[in-house]
Structure 1
Amino acid sequence: MKFERRHDIDWLRVIAIGLLLVYHIAIIFQPWAMFVGFIRSDALMEDLWKPMTLLNVWRIPLLFYVSGMGVYFAIRKRNWRQLLLERSKRILLPFVFGIIAIAPLHLFIFQGHYKMPLSYYPHAGHLWFLGNIFAYVLLLSPLFFYLKKKEGGRFMRILKSFMRHPLGPLSISVFFVIEVLLVKPQLFEMYAETWHGFFLGFLAFFFGFLFVYSGKVFWKTMLGWRWFYSGLAVILYTVRLLVLDLKSPDYLMALESNCWIFALFGFGYKYLNRPSATLSYLSQAAYPVYIIHMFVLYAMAAIVLPLEIPVLSKFLAIVTFTGIVCCLLYEFIIRRIGFLRPFFGLKWRYKQNVKVLEKSS
């Protein structure tokens, strides 16, 4: 059976990872950067954080939604053993390798930049996301395979009916509101290695699966009501920015987060669901770039920040050179050296990847 490839979901994943890179670089220019383990610029750009506050309520939840959707596409042609083996290779192996060999690198750079004693400290760092995803696969795959067996049954019919109404998908925000009320996170956007991040990710992963499980009816709702979701998101962000001084209650942040994400699903479905050679390449590159981007970012910060140039030029230079170096490392090392590929979530054989790219172009 031939299944439809959802190119818009691939694009959203690529875009989210690209924005994550910019977001992390923006932290360097904030006064509190060192408190979260980042190299800090002496010259600050605090106004830069205002647009980042728009991103930080949906950038990570979006990736969890998309990851849940990916599991639905995966189980259409895999049994549970094949799924766990595939996810172990693609997620668990890079996660463990990253803890040992990748995440400690940016700590070395941080220590060297501030002339601290060098010490080796294996840690998850920015790769915490992978550990969460693998845990969700283990916890939810029995339910997902049960739903797969019951596809076309009563639950799916009820779900489809629910997803036809614009408030149907939006009503799942109730669960996200309950999560923040119970967990009481210190900050809504503090996802890394927190219970808030774990439970929020669990919900987004689960509902991401259900959204694609419900079929095209969900996407038609996203498409038809994309302006409604985006308008509501803009209103909530405007209130957060201008009225509440960026200190919205967590329950409003949860609603705003889902509004932005549903708007992205709608616009992505309309404009991005088409194949291209560029997407084929970037969708392969996004995961390895995500894994390596932090130590590259730290290295570029250590090189650029001492330069006698305007602070905006420093920001743009770090963004530009981090992107270039990550792409070069991917293209000429990670992608082409066979034994390295599995450690970055790629298939062992490089030639398979080339054939896919040739076909897509």
Structure 2
Amino acid sequence: MTSERRHDIDWLRVIAIGLLLIYHIAIIFQPWAMFIGFIKSDEPVVALWTPMTMLNVWRIPLLFFVSGMGLYFAMRKRNWKQLLLERTKRILLPFTFGIIAITPLHLFIFQKYYHMPLGYYPHQGHLWFLGNIFVYVLLLLPLYYYLKKHENGKIKRVLSVVMSHPSGPMLISLFFVLEVLLVKPQLFALYAQTWHGFFNGFLAFFFGFLVVYSGKPFWQTVLKWRWLNTSLAIIMYGIRLGLFEFEAPGYLMAIESNCWIFGVFGFGYKYLNKPSKTLSYLSQAAYPVYIIHMFVLYTVALFILPLDLPIMLKFIAIVTFTGLACYLIYEFIIRRIGFLRPLFGLKWEFNKLEYNSTSKKEVLNIKKPLDYEKNF
């Protein structure tokens, strides 16, 4: 299997987590927020939902695509037993810990904000994503190792030829169209703990692995046609807003979703595939921040929403302080306390040289490789 590092894949994961945080904050300012378990601002900002509806058809599928790609890279140096053990430690352990210790926290905040009786309710919450990924790994591992064993076989050659054609990536969209026609989801973007979310994520995870396995032709194709894919996505988004008030027929939204994703892959491959110390740090931080961000978000909202401030200033303040608090918790608690690290998907080891060295030059010269294969 190829050993080429793909920094753009890491960047896309980081960006997707950042967009997820902003997306969840925007929900607080929607009139229906409380119905899905979010703290709700008394003064809504409905206009925030217009850009969010552009994001919500592709942000979660993109993460599943990237997670499937990450599994491909994780398989390069591991047999199936090693990979299963590594995925158990990296995904199942944080998932289980999160259900017990993290998701009940933001429910506590919700109960406190609305003066409800406090109760302890372990639940998947936003961590459903991790549970899905672990199931996908179990289901697809035999097939993936068969493909790995036949790295230069007929299947890869056929995939490479198909993905080198402009219509190749778009053929992938047909499977997503078939999914919505069969499952018939009420809302396309209702992914959490639904059959639509499970099968949509399964397809994205599966094809994420396959497109990396197929080699460079896929990336050269999405690079060449990035403007077309993005333009089609924008046009379909405009049609969705103009004719359907956010929720178009599922088959149209499935095609729009993949147009956004292939456009993002093309631009990412062109502009983001380069090493960066910032990326090295953010790539490691993204997973723990994903796990804690809902609790942090609710806590910040608890203090900001009652203040007598203009509503948009409240939104900006919640975004700012949520991001800052996530950074502080990650940097000074999760990252530095050994026994906490594996509970948030990190290795036990902490490289203190990066933070305790008295030599600035020594710090700047650290050559820490990106390791996207360790991320979900």
TM-score bracket for the superposition, by shorter chain length:
over 0.9
Corresponding residue number in structure 2 for 1:233: 233
Deviations 1:210-243 (A, max 9, x none): 0000001111001111011111101110100112
Corresponding residue number in structure 2 for 1:72: 72
Structure 1 230/148 Cα, relative in aligned 2: closer, same or farther at 3 Å? same
Deviations 1:63-86 (A, max 9, x none): 000000001111111100010010
Asked if 1:359 is matched to 2:367, the reply is yes
Deviations 1:253-295 (A, max 9, x none): 0000000000000000000000010000000000000000000
Residue identity in the other structure for 2:139? L
Question: How many Å apart are 1:244 and its aligned residue?
Answer: 2.0
Corresponding residue number in structure 2 for 1:113: 113
Residue identity in the other structure for 2:45? M
Question: How many Å apart are 1:360 and its aligned residue?
Answer: 4.0
Corresponding residue number in structure 1 for 2:176: 176
Structure 1 49/106 Cα, relative in aligned 2: closer, same or farther at 3 Å? same
Corresponding residue number in structure 1 for 2:193: 193
Corresponding residue number in structure 1 for 2:316: 316
Question: How many Å apart are 1:358 and its aligned residue?
Answer: 2.3
Corresponding residue number in structure 2 for 1:151: 151
Secondary structure of the 2:189 match is: coil
Deviations 1:166-212 (A, max 9, x none): 11111111111111111111100000000000000000000000000
Normalising by structure 2, we get a TM-score of 0.94
Question: How many Å apart are 1:247 and its aligned residue?
Answer: 2.3
Segments of 5+ residues of structure 1 without an aligned counterpart are: none
The answer as to whether partners of 2:188 and 2:247 remain within 8 angstroms in 1 is no
Asked if 1:86 is matched to 2:94, the reply is no
Question: How many Å apart are 1:314 and its aligned residue?
Answer: 0.3
Tell me how far apart the structure 2 counterparts of residues 275 and 251 of structure 1 sit (CA, whole Å): 37
Corresponding residue number in structure 2 for 1:24: 24
Question: How many Å apart are 1:351 and its aligned residue?
Answer: 2.0
Residue identity in the other structure for 2:268? G
Corresponding residue number in structure 2 for 1:214: 214
Tell me how far apart the structure 2 counterparts of residues 250 and 129 of structure 1 sit (CA, whole Å): 21
Corresponding residue number in structure 1 for 2:329: 329
Secondary structure of the 2:346 match is: coil
Corresponding residue number in structure 2 for 1:126: 126
Tell me how far apart the structure 2 counterparts of residues 28 and 2 of structure 1 sit (CA, whole Å): 44
Deviations 1:19-67 (A, max 9, x none): 0000000000000000000000001100110000000000000000000
- Per mean C-alpha deviation after superposition, the further-off stretch among 226-235 and 349-358 is 349-358
Normalising by structure 1, we get a TM-score of 0.98
Structure 1 183/141 Cα, relative in aligned 2: closer, same or farther at 3 Å? same
Question: How many Å apart are 1:134 and its aligned residue?
Answer: 0.3
Residue identity in the other structure for 1:246? F
Tell me how far apart the structure 2 counterparts of residues 138 and 278 of structure 1 sit (CA, whole Å): 33
Secondary structure of the 2:38 match is: coil
Tell me how far apart the structure 1 counterparts of residues 318 and 62 of structure 2 sit (CA, whole Å): 25
Corresponding residue number in structure 2 for 1:349: 349
- Per mean C-alpha deviation after superposition, the further-off stretch among 349-358 and 255-264 is 349-358
Structure 1 105/356 Cα, relative in aligned 2: closer, same or farther at 3 Å? farther
Tell me how far apart the structure 2 counterparts of residues 6 and 353 of structure 1 sit (CA, whole Å): 26
The answer as to whether partners of 1:276 and 1:360 remain within 8 angstroms in 2 is no
Asked if 1:59 is matched to 2:69, the reply is no
Corresponding residue number in structure 1 for 2:100: 100
The answer as to whether partners of 1:180 and 1:250 remain within 8 angstroms in 2 is yes
Structure 1 356/180 Cα, relative in aligned 2: closer, same or farther at 3 Å? farther
Corresponding residue number in structure 2 for 1:270: 270
The answer as to whether partners of 2:111 and 2:118 remain within 8 angstroms in 1 is yes
Secondary structure of the 2:367 match is: helix
Segments of 5+ residues of structure 2 without an aligned counterpart are: 355-362, 370-376
Tell me how far apart the structure 1 counterparts of residues 274 and 253 of structure 2 sit (CA, whole Å): 32
Q: CA RMSD in A?
A: 1.5
The answer as to whether partners of 2:187 and 2:247 remain within 8 angstroms in 1 is no
Residue identity in the other structure for 1:149? K
Tell me how far apart the structure 2 counterparts of residues 193 and 262 of structure 1 sit (CA, whole Å): 25
Residue identity in the other structure for 1:276? S
Tell me how far apart the structure 2 counterparts of residues 360 and 145 of structure 1 sit (CA, whole Å): 29
Tell me how far apart the structure 1 counterparts of residues 253 and 324 of structure 2 sit (CA, whole Å): 34
Corresponding residue number in structure 2 for 1:138: 138
Tell me how far apart the structure 1 counterparts of residues 364 and 102 of structure 2 sit (CA, whole Å): 28
Structure 1 356/197 Cα, relative in aligned 2: closer, same or farther at 3 Å? farther
Deviations 1:312-337 (A, max 9, x none): 00000000000000000000000000
